[in-house]
Amino acid sequence: MDKEIKNWQRIWQEENPKPLDIDRLIYQLNKMEKVARLQRIFVPLLFAFALFSMITRLSGNIYNFLSVLFIIIAVLFLLIPLYLSSFPLINEKININNQSFIQWHIKKLKRKLLIPKRYMLIFIILLTLAFNIAFLGALNNDTLAVKITAHLSTLILFAVLYFARKIGIKRYEKYILPVIEKLENISGNEESLPRK
């Protein structure tokens, strides 16, 4: 009997949830949003610089127009989800008690997870396609070896960006999935939350 009680006690202690640290959760949410704000500033600046450089340096042939168009579309595939997954910084613990607030943050964080998984892949494909189209126009009069080297370099670029995307997915999941799990636990256990 004593052994059975100790076994039940051990099982209960293993299943006993750790207390939720609201301050840490708020810190994690705010930190993610601050990083996303930097991304929302950096990506458009980089895009504007690249677009300006391409328009002023490239000739007006159809290949260059198509490559610029594909780059614009590719960057929009990154920018739109970045803006759709944004949320205001949390200043008070009282907001964390609101069920709709929690569900809204879960939705935004899940949308943020799609950025490296889906939208970054589309960006990489469109960017590689844009470079290949630009090389078609720019290397029209060059030798076959130069053309093959240029197009192979875009495949290498694709592979590097694809590998970086895989690393980005792991990093996003490492930081975002635990926060989503905490928010889902809060959503299911509202009575365990501290009240102000």
- Token couple for 85: 């997954």
Residue 42 lies in a domain: yes
pLDDT value at 29 more than 90: no
What distance lies between CA 66 and its chain's CA centroid? Answer: 27
Give the pLDDT score at 191. Answer: 40
Q: How many domains does the chain have?
A: 1
Q: Is the Cα torsion angle 78, 31, 185, 93 positive or negative in sign?
A: negative
**What is the rounded distance in angstroms from the CA atom of residue 131 to the CA atom of residue 151?**
8
Q: Write down the mean pLDDT value for the chain.
A: 78
Q: Structural domain of residue 109, as residue ranges?
A: 24-86+93-191
Residue 11 lies in a domain: no
Give the pLDDT score at 126. Answer: 93
Residue 150 lies in a domain: yes
Going by pLDDT thresholds of 50, 70 and 90, the confidence category of residue 65 is confident
Phi, psi of 194 (to 5 degrees): -70, 140
Residue 158 lies in a domain: yes
Give the pLDDT score at 13. Answer: 55
Residue 18 lies in a domain: no
Provide the 3-class DSSP secondary structure of residue 40.
helix
Mean pLDDT of 38-55: 75
Residue 12 lies in a domain: no
Residue 159 lies in a domain: yes
Residue 4 lies in a domain: no
Mean pLDDT of 10-19: 54
Count other C-beta atoms under 10 Å from residue 117's C-beta: 13
Give the pLDDT score at 56. Answer: 66
Going by pLDDT thresholds of 50, 70 and 90, the confidence category of residue 152 is very high
| % residues pLDDT > 70 (the chain) | 74
* Residues 83-141: tens digit of each pLDDT: 877 776 666 655 555 777 788 888 888 888 888 889 999 999 999 998 898 888 888 88
**What is the rounded distance in angstroms from the CA atom of residue 65 to the CA atom of residue 46?**
19
| % residues pLDDT > 90 (the chain) | 14
Give the pLDDT score at 114. Answer: 87
| Contact (CB, 8 A) for 112 and 36 | yes
Going by pLDDT thresholds of 50, 70 and 90, the confidence category of residue 20 is low
**What is the rounded distance in angstroms from the CA atom of residue 90 to the CA atom of residue 31?**
10
